[in-house]
Amino acid sequence: MKPERQPRPSKNPEPPIEFKAILLVDDDKQLAATLQWILADENFLVDVAYDGEEALLKIRANTYDAVICDVMMPNLRGDELFLKAREIRPELADRFIFITGFAADPHINLFLTRNDVKYLVKPFPVQGLIDCVKQLLA
């Protein structure tokens, strides 16, 4: 009986893929679903919340590497979510990317500039969001 031949280990094994967890928060369910699919295709694990209150519950229960958040939402707006999330998980303070169609609104503009957060103005190019996320997590 011949001994079985063992496969040789590869000299350059592929490094394991590292998945980063993102919480996507937007009350526009169609946009949220589209962005979830696009980001998942970029190897991100994407959890979705449809308003700030749901997002806050998820932030309390889970650990995320980044949060992509609409500003104007029902129940708890994105700026209010940011302030509460920062108290619960201080490490998220510089891990938010806001998406908004209201960057010219004085209240929202003051929030974005005062907190020195990353943001994209709707409509934004999808590649711009992907690049922003990758840069944030680099």
Is there a contact between 26 and 33 (Cβ–Cβ < 8 Å)? no
Helix (H, G, I), strand (E, B) or coil at 118: strand
Quick check: is 136 in a domain? no
Is there a contact between 97 and 66 (Cβ–Cβ < 8 Å)? yes
Tokens representing 85? Answer: 């999330």
Tokens representing 113? Answer: 């500039």
Model pLDDT for residues 50-65, shown as the tens digit of each residue = 999 999 999 999 999 9
Model pLDDT for residues 58-87, shown as the tens digit of each residue = 999 999 999 999 999 989 999 999 999 999
Quick check: is 134 in a domain? no
Note down pLDDT in tens along the chain; length 138 residues. Answer: 565 666 666 666 666 667 899 999 999 999 999 999 999 999 999 999 999 999 999 999 999 999 999 999 989 999 999 999 999 999 999 999 999 998 889 999 999 999 999 999 999 999 999 999 999 999
d(CA 43, CA 19): 6
Task: List Cα–Cα distances, 112 to 22, 103, 117, in angstroms.
Answer: 20, 8, 6
Quick check: is 39 in a domain? yes
Q: What CATH number has the domain bearing residue 96?
A: 3.40.50.2300
Residue 35: domain span: 20-126
The domain tally of the chain equals 1
Quick check: is 11 in a domain? no
Quick check: is 26 in a domain? yes
